[in-house]
Structure 1
């Protein structure tokens, strides 16, 4: 399984998407404000996701 890198867009937990901000050994920190409907969801702006629980949607250009 390929691990996400900073800047990647990932999807997890029933369709939530975000931009990877930091990569740790077992998880990533994701910025959820990337989603168009972020304000409607009333959730925190960042979350931690284990490497086993996401798929990479788009890799960063850098």
Structure 2
């Protein structure tokens, strides 16, 4: 299982997508405002997703620091 990193876009719960803002030991905190239909879904802005319950859709680009 590959663990997401900050800036990755993940998909979970049958199609919801978000941007990883923080990586914890067992989960990630995700910003759901990434989705175009975010307002229509009436969801909270952020949520917590266990590492077992998502797949990485798009990996963040390294900044080269």
Q: Specify the TM-score bucket, using the shorter chain as the normaliser.
A: over 0.9
**Number of residues paired by the alignment?**
62
Equivalent position of 1:38 in the other structure: 38
Structure 1: give runs of 5+ residues left out of the alignment: none
- List structure 1 runs of 4+ shifted beyond 6 angstroms: none
Q: Secondary structure, in 3 states, of the residue corresponding to 2:20?
A: strand
* Aligned residues: CA RMSD: 0.3
- Structure exhibiting the larger radius of gyration computed from Cα positions: 2
Structure 2: give runs of 5+ residues left out of the alignment: none
Alignment of 1:18-33 (within 5 A): 18-33=18-33
